[in-house]
Structure 1
Amino acid sequence: MSQDVSESRLYRPRITRMLVWQIVVVVMLTIGYSGYYFCRSNFSVCLPQIGAELVALGLKPDADSAKEFLGILLSMGTLVYAVGKFVNGTVADFLGGSRFFVLAMVMSVGCTFLFAFGQTLPVFTLAWLLNRGVQSGGWPSLMKVSARWFAHRTYGTVVAVISMSFLLGDAAARAFMGWLLDEKAIWGIGTIRAFDWREVFLTVGAILAVVAVLTLILVRESPVKRGLSEPSAHPDNVYGERGEQARPDGLWELVGPMITNPFFLLVCGLSIGATLLRESFINWTPTFYQEELKYDPGQAARLSSLFPLVGAVSVILAGVASDLLGRSGRAMILTAGMTCSALALTLLATSNPASFGLGYVGVITFIAFALLGPYSFLGGAIALDFGGKRGAALACGMIDGIGYFAGVLADLMVAFLSSRLGWPAVFGILAGVAGLSAVVGLCYWLGIIHRHRHGVRQSSATHPTS
């Protein structure tokens, strides 16, 4: 009995230290990824001022041509970001998550400063595309760190908390930059003039640099670096027992088990549908409110803000619920969310704006709740489930990367259909996408149930291990 008491006394402080450092890691990863948005959203926030300066410098003949150039640059950046997800996810698995997370921050700071000091179109283009490329490694490297710090039974909750970085961090970054662009009165100092866009870029670059230093100091690759033990990876990861080892042995050994796993391919299909839906609503809801419901720009902007706010609640609730529901919990919630989204979109496609009116806002807000929680699983907790410690970054990068290609198509599709066929056609197509995604989700859910009922692990189905 004395031995049990002695072991208990030794064990409790260890658990306490682990919990403290896990909290530190979650906080710093959330702050760190929020920091990325200071050097990502700055372009769109300052776009009108950048366009005006392009004309003033004689780089573009008029405002329209400047706007077209910046729009093309944004689209090119999105494509580079999508490709970068695949490349940087792979690199992060070999290099290490915490190293790449900080390295990408530092490189993004450099690109932001380069853009701020730029005077020619080639420099602006190079700086922005490089920035988007290096930033694409931020989320996959963050997942790599999470795979080594947290038990698989808590993936849903942990990733839900960290996801607040891109749901609310973007809003905070935009609000701060808006404040910089306005004339401001600071108590004890007086009135400070509005910043120009170059000063905004330099300011947000400095902020991300500080965040990078703090992350470097406080976040370690593994609990082992703090004298603690690593939690186990998800037992159904595609590498089996090898999923407990953080560094892959080779490129094909990393990629092969992923791309030949049928369940992983189903999730990639879900990412295409879910990202297309998300990007359509995130980018086009204000336009719909103005064109179809006749709200003024201010009202449309305020009503559209309900989408990410309700989505944030959905992400937290879905994350916690998925951990409580066990191995098939995430698949079940995904299927339910896509089914509810399909039904809601069918209602929007068949309703009359004149009679439905504010009901559109309610239904779209409901879609945010049904969609964004399950969407957050794809490049988050589910990527950790598949990748384990060995391939978490690659799993995340592949799932997200495929989804971002769909996001590019979403903007083109909505723009074409809304102008040629009207918004009911847009909602009809999106209802079809959601319905097809629900079918894919159902196949994924039933497949997991079947696998566990027969005691088959993901890895043993395609890549037997010893």
Structure 2
Amino acid sequence: MSVAEGKLGKERARMFLLAYLTYGAYYLARLNLSVALPSMALELEYSKVVWGVMGGSFSAVYGIGQIVNGRLAEHLGAKKVITAGLLLSAFSNILFGFAKTAEAMVILWTVNGYAQSTGWPSVVKIVSELMDRSSIGKAGGIFGTCFLVGSTFSLLFSGCIVSRFGWRAAFTFPSILITLHAFLFYICEGRWKTASKKAERDPPDEPIKGSIFTIEVIFIVAAYVSLQFVRSGFGFWAPAYIFEVHRTTLEYASYGAAIIPLGGLTGAIFSGWISDRFFAHRRTTVIFAMTMFLSFILLALHLSVNVEFAAKVILLFFGGLALYGPHVMLSTILPIDYGGRYGAANMAGLIDGMGYLGTTIADPLVGLVIDSMGWNGATIFWTASSICATSLSYALWRIERKKVQLL
């Protein structure tokens, strides 16, 4: 390997790491609401429907913003979109921490939803230009853990802040950190020149024309929407679920919820690696198997309301593993497979955006279900969503299998 090639590899590795840490940083100003929610509910005495509407409005704007920002990242570049998004998220979080009314909180969290939507399409664009096409599954699986690492750190960090300084501080401290990171990203990304110029000289993969109208993409989006229903449960409601069902302290509830993304780390890396290593880049086989496993885990979770806390944590770990494996493949690896390197931001924005538009309905609906039927009703809803994702994944597997047989 020549000196130039070695230098290029190091620059790409640095940029991969920077993109990884940048998207993880977004979660500091996102999952802090989930951890602060139990304390906010006790102090402010709003119904769960109000919190569900807040989560749903976030998801609606986040979903639309993903589609819009996928296009912006292609035209303006990831650097500008990410920097502006991080700063806007920090600003809205600071104001949220000082808000006094439900209306103000909903508006500010909705603004934060748009700010957060700048992240995923932009980092997928960056990383897609760095990947070796023969190892997209493995590299995409590794990169897909960025939001899991961000989730884990955010849950632990926010739990520590809330328990020591109160829930309003959970929106101030992250704002400071992501503001600093925004400037760090802007400076470091500006120094990365060689690898980006090399990527521009390489002939880009031709995007699949009309792919957004194919039955595969429709099924991918529908399966992702179904998994987002489950993910919203694990992400938005998990600390409150543990806090209320097991009567733990808020700090321990956040620690229990943090086991979910830790399981997801294993699932994300494993799913990408095994699809490259044993299934010749055929992703749908792995997606189908893992969504089926997720359905069984959620059914066990529903039937184990009165089990010990430690046993529930084990179930949550495997739930995270079975959820985030197919989730990462649908949101990270398949957009690159289907969209090509220069269309990856568009595909990622479309898939992830539609998924979050789906949670616009799910979040307030789950809040209503919990208020009327308790947590058992919520686990039934999440199990049914997983079964739906399994059915759609099976349909995708059948389509892919027929294509392979025709080759």
TM-score for both structures, normalised by structure 1: 0.73
- Give the Cα separation in 2 of the matches to 1:366 and 1:174: 18
Aligned partner of 1:155 in structure 2 is 136
Render the CA deviation track for 1:219-274: whole Å, top value 9, x for unaligned.
36875545567666667x424xxxxxxxxxxxxxxxxx243122111100110111
- Give the Cα separation in 1 of the matches to 2:40 and 2:315: 37
Q: Judging changes above 3 Å, is the alpha-carbon distance between structure 1 residues 161 and 354 closer, same or farther for their aligned structure 2 residues?
A: closer
- Give the Cα separation in 1 of the matches to 2:40 and 2:392: 43
Aligned counterpart in structure 1 of residue 146 of structure 2, from 136, 155, 165:
165
Contact 1:223/1:229, CA 8 A, preserved across alignment: no
Between the aligned residues of both structures, percent identity stands at 21
Contact 2:152/2:262, CA 8 A, preserved across alignment: no
Aligned counterpart in structure 1 of residue 285 of structure 2, from 308, 332, 335:
332
- Give the Cα separation in 2 of the matches to 1:426 and 1:196: 25
- Give the Cα separation in 2 of the matches to 1:352 and 1:131: 36
Contact 2:155/2:258, CA 8 A, preserved across alignment: no
* 1:125-164 alignment, distance < 5 Å: 127-164=108-145
After superposing the two structures, state which structure 1 stretch, 277-286 or 399-408, moved more.
277-286
TM-score for both structures, normalised by structure 2: 0.82
Contact 2:67/2:350, CA 8 A, preserved across alignment: yes
- 1:358 deviates by 6.6
Does 1:103 find its partner at 2:56?
no
User: Secondary structure at the residue paired with 2:340?
Assistant: helix
Does 1:33 find its partner at 2:14?
no
* 1:9-408 alignment, distance < 5 Å: 12-43=2-33, 63-64=44-45, 72-112=53-93, 127-177=108-158, 197=168, 201=171, 203-219=173-189, 225-227=196-198, 237-239=207-209, 257-286=210-239, 289=242, 294=246, 296-297=248-249, 301-325=254-278, 327-348=280-301, 351=303, 361-408=313-360
- Give the Cα separation in 2 of the matches to 1:120 and 1:283: 21
- Give the Cα separation in 2 of the matches to 1:447 and 1:402: 22
Q: Judging changes above 3 Å, is the alpha-carbon distance between structure 1 residues 154 and 173 closer, same or farther for their aligned structure 2 residues?
A: same
Higher RCO (CA 8 Å, separation ≥ 6 residues): 2
- 1:104 deviates by 1.9
State the one-letter code of the partner of 2:322. Answer: A
Greater fraction of residues in helix: 2
After superposing the two structures, state which structure 1 stretch, 34-43 or 400-409, moved more.
34-43
Render the CA deviation track for 1:6-41: whole Å, top value 9, x for unaligned.
xxxxx5223312321121011101111122223334
After superposing the two structures, state which structure 1 stretch, 391-400 or 358-367, moved more.
358-367
Render the CA deviation track for 1:445-466: whole Å, top value 9, x for unaligned.
23223324434xxxxxxxxxxx
After superposing the two structures, state which structure 1 stretch, 112-121 or 438-447, moved more.
112-121
Contact 2:335/2:344, CA 8 A, preserved across alignment: yes
Q: Judging changes above 3 Å, is the alpha-carbon distance between structure 1 residues 116 and 150 closer, same or farther for their aligned structure 2 residues?
A: same
Contact 2:35/2:239, CA 8 A, preserved across alignment: no
- Give the Cα separation in 2 of the matches to 1:106 and 1:140: 17
- Give the Cα separation in 2 of the matches to 1:111 and 1:301: 23
- Give the Cα separation in 2 of the matches to 1:25 and 1:382: 21
- 1:323 deviates by 2.7
User: Secondary structure at the residue paired with 2:208?
Assistant: coil
Aligned partner of 1:461 in structure 2 is none
- 1:90 deviates by 2.1
User: Secondary structure at the residue paired with 1:382?
Assistant: helix
Contact 1:277/1:434, CA 8 A, preserved across alignment: yes
Q: Judging changes above 3 Å, is the alpha-carbon distance between structure 1 residues 167 and 224 closer, same or farther for their aligned structure 2 residues?
A: closer
Q: Judging changes above 3 Å, is the alpha-carbon distance between structure 1 residues 83 and 374 closer, same or farther for their aligned structure 2 residues?
A: same
- Give the Cα separation in 2 of the matches to 1:330 and 1:97: 27
User: Secondary structure at the residue paired with 2:268?
Assistant: helix
After superposing the two structures, state which structure 1 stretch, 134-143 or 124-133, moved more.
124-133
- 1:133 deviates by 0.8
Q: Judging changes above 3 Å, is the alpha-carbon distance between structure 1 residues 67 and 268 closer, same or farther for their aligned structure 2 residues?
A: closer
- 1:112 deviates by 4.4
- Backbone CA RMSD of aligned residues: 3.8
Render the CA deviation track for 1:382-421: whole Å, top value 9, x for unaligned.
1111111232112111211221233333334444445555
State the one-letter code of the partner of 1:315. Answer: A
State the one-letter code of the partner of 2:143. Answer: I
- Flag structure 1 segments of 5+ consecutive residues without an equivalent: 1-10, 53-61, 184-193, 240-256, 456-466
- Give the Cα separation in 2 of the matches to 1:118 and 1:419: 25
- Flag structure 2 segments of 5+ consecutive residues without an equivalent: none
